[in-house]
Amino acid sequence: MNTKEHSNFFQGKVFAILGLLILLIVPNFVDTNVQIVFILILFYALCASCWNIVCGFVGELSLGHAVFLGVGAYISSLLLMDCSLSPWIGMFIAAAITAVFGVIVGLPCFRLHGPYFALTTIALGELIRIFVENNETVFGINLRGAMGLVLKQSGNQFIAFEFANKITYYYVLVALVAVTILVTWLIKNSKLGFYLTAIKSDPDAAESLGIKLTKYKLIAMGISCFLISFAGTFYAQYFRYVGPSRIFSHDMSVQIALIALVGGQGTVFGPLMGACLLVPITEFLSEEFGGTLPGLHLFIYGIVMILVVLYMPRGIFHPVTKLFKSIEAKLFSFGKKSVQKGEK
């Protein structure tokens, strides 16, 4: 896994760097309207990367990850609304609580496998959604039930996580995504990553080698929830509204999982690639056809999914890097021969 992927990634480095540069620089020079799409790309990339940390590595499909996104969003927003705590601090408190919550939830869930696991996470998501919708207060905290949390504008203050222009939001996301990808990469190359991959390929063998299955799954879960909670805080601050029927929705969970799966689960950059492919398609189609032919955009979305799976069943990451590599090899075949000789 590691060695292979590294070489892949670094051999396609021209494109990788190009891609990252586009993500870093281009949003500065486009309309706000395009910036929104970039923000959504990174937002979903962030969520999908977090999903990937636990599900991609362990090989179980969680279809309820929006719950943790929502918990993060709720906690940091409540801290802001009720305790006037800056989201910059609140998001860490939220992350810590979400991580603990994730571990508690994961404890029973990870006893299940395959479809049982996937569908239990669906049930969990629905349960939390209905619960929040129907309960105004929980433990004396006013969750405002189905109405959701409306964050008041407080003027463009950095301290309040509120910015005048989209680009600032964007760079906040860039930082979050960078951290997440870095964490993913570190995990992948550490004991944890080896253990998770081992668990994914054969839990029995893994256990016989002294790997505590639940412990490592839960560590991954904790990290994943910690990070996705940041995405939740971002969501709340960016849209300035957190409603249970969306943030805890099955649709949201599925979307997160889809992007990671289409990108390539268990890979470091897959989720980002998945988001780069799917989010613009959705946004474009929904804008173009949402008003005239409701349903068309989701229809095409479905077809795209089918095609991706049929032709790249393990996600777009490997085929795309392979393609980049071969293009690169052609483009730079000149200088390459000497390099290869040198290597040998």
User: Quick check: 304 binds another protein (CB under 8 A)?
Assistant: yes
Query: Each residue of 175-212: b (16+ CB within 10 Å) or e?
Result: ebbeebbebbeebbeeebbbbbbbbbeebeebeeeebe
Nearest to 82 by CA among 139, 151, 154: 151
Residue 174: helix, strand or coil by DSSP? helix
d(CA 42, CA 73): 17
Residues 320-339 that bind another protein (CB under 8 A): none
Which residue in 206, 275, 276, 278 binds another protein (CB under 8 A)?
206
User: Quick check: 146 binds another protein (CB under 8 A)?
Assistant: yes
d(CA 16, CA 257): 23
Which residue in 86, 290, 318, 319 binds another protein (CB under 8 A)?
290
Residues 102-131 that bind another protein (CB under 8 A): 108, 111-116, 118-120, 122-124, 126-127, 130-131
Q: How far is the CB of 231 from another protein (least distance, A)?
A: 12
DSSP secondary structure code for residue 314 in this structure: T
User: Quick check: 153 binds another protein (CB under 8 A)?
Assistant: yes
Instruction: Work out the number of other CB atoms within 10 angstroms of the CB of residue 9.
Output: 18
User: Quick check: 262 binds another protein (CB under 8 A)?
Assistant: yes
Residues 79-98 that bind another protein (CB under 8 A): none
Distances (CA, A) of 64 to 37, 44, 318: 24, 15, 26
**Piece of 66-74, 76-84, 88-96, 146-154 that binds another protein (CB under 8 A):** 146-154
User: Quick check: 138 binds another protein (CB under 8 A)?
Assistant: no
Instruction: Work out the number of other CB atoms within 10 angstroms of the CB of residue 115.
Output: 9
Question: Smaller CB distance to another protein: residue 20 or 118?
Answer: 118
Which residue in 204, 341, 342, 344 binds another protein (CB under 8 A)?
204
Q: Where are the beta strands (DSSP E) in 159-300?
A: 241-242
Question: Smaller CB distance to another protein: residue 13 or 200?
Answer: 200
**Piece of 71-79, 141-149, 168-176, 225-233 that binds another protein (CB under 8 A):** 141-149
Q: How far is the CB of 338 from another protein (least distance, A)?
A: 25
Question: Smaller CB distance to another protein: residue 92 or 168?
Answer: 168
Of the CA atoms within 13 Å of residue 153, those in its CB half-sphere come to: 5
User: Quick check: 254 binds another protein (CB under 8 A)?
Assistant: yes
User: Quick check: 318 binds another protein (CB under 8 A)?
Assistant: no
d(CA 61, CA 261): 9
Which residue in 147, 159, 175, 329 binds another protein (CB under 8 A)?
147
CB 306 within 8 A of CB 296: no
Residues 57-76 that bind another protein (CB under 8 A): 61
